Amino acid sequence: MRPAEKFLVELGISVPDDIDIDAIAYCAGAEVDYRKLVGCEAQIIGRKDKAIIYVQKNARQTRRRFSAAHELGHWHHHRGQSFVCRPEDIGRPIDQTSKNVERIADAYAADLILPRFMITPKLEALDEFSFHELIDLAGTFSASVTATAIRAVRMTREPVILVAHNLFGKRWQWPSVTAMGLSVRSDVDPRSTAFRMLSAEGKLVPPRKEPASYWFERRHIEQFDIRAQSMTTVEGESLTLLRIMDQELIDIYAH
């Protein structure tokens, strides 16, 4: 179990509703103060075994929660140091194996807000691995859909890839363990559901079948179809869940 999950267990927290970040912070010797901040999203000032965490009051609730948890990550891993975290430092969905202090704090925050031991049984109980279910799950954990979807994709054995686009192309992707080695093309195909969602704020469309060539740039890949479901995020990007329907596509192209 990772440090944040261990801490939850020590505190006797076993259900999502009890993940009260302010109370957890208090137990770690930190007080969270929500106030208007200029030029940063959150900060922590620590001294000996006490800390004060400031979090941007104007942010969305899921964002405030993640930011406070991110600062608790700094408190756990980088005790004795103070941090001023900009919006781009917190919750960046890129390589979680990075040793960058911000990524380490993010990983701690994700473990605290979306702990594996609570998510596992819920993932197993899902009827279908789709955004409809993941949006529900995000609500259960008071987390953003993006953070929840990344967590779920990294835990499932379904052959899926989560990919985010803006109009300039692919921003990032997370393949599940069974789709590892597949890389979505770096541009956004105007025929794809991802492209259409970029101009449809707040929308979610049902999964649909599309030629794999809309998503991958590989020789002869047009012989395969994939299923794609896209939605727009509050950041104005499109988030797509790609399901590989054919094991052969993975066997040929995943390397």
Residues that bind Zn ion (CB under 5 A): 83, 85, 89, 102, 105
| Rounded-to-integer distance, Cα 59 and Cα 109, Å | 16
Q: Could you tell me the smallest distance in angstroms from the CB atom of residue 6 to Zn ion?
A: 21
Q: Could you tell me the smallest distance in angstroms from the CB atom of residue 255 to Zn ion?
A: 35
Q: Which is nearer to Zn ion, 104 or 123 (CB)?
A: 104
The residue number whose beta carbon is nearest to Zn ion equals: 85
| Rounded-to-integer distance, Cα 83 and Cα 43, Å | 5
Q: Could you tell me the smallest distance in angstroms from the CB atom of residue 90 to Zn ion?
A: 6
- Long-range contacts of range 176-184, CB-CB < 8 Å, 24 or more positions apart? 178/250, 179/244, 179/250, 179/254, 180/254, 181/250, 181/253, 181/254, 181/255, 182/216, 182/244, 182/249, 182/250, 182/253, 182/254, 183/216, 184/215, 184/216, 184/242
| Rounded-to-integer distance, Cα 174 and Cα 194, Å | 16
Q: Which is nearer to Zn ion, 21 or 85 (CB)?
A: 85
Amino acid at 43: Q
DSSP letter for each residue of 193-216: HHHHHTTSTT-B---EEEEGGGT-
Write the CB contacts of 99 (distance below 8 Å, at least 6 apart in sequence): none
Q: Which is nearer to Zn ion, 150 or 153 (CB)?
A: 150
Quick check: helix, strand or coil at residue 50?
strand
Q: Could you tell me the smallest distance in angstroms from the CB atom of residue 70 to Zn ion?
A: 5
Q: Which is nearer to Zn ion, 54 or 83 (CB)?
A: 83
Q: Which is nearer to Zn ion, 37 or 137 (CB)?
A: 37
Q: Could you tell me the smallest distance in angstroms from the CB atom of residue 82 to Zn ion?
A: 10
Q: Could you tell me the smallest distance in angstroms from the CB atom of residue 98 to Zn ion?
A: 13
Q: Which is nearer to Zn ion, 98 or 247 (CB)?
A: 98
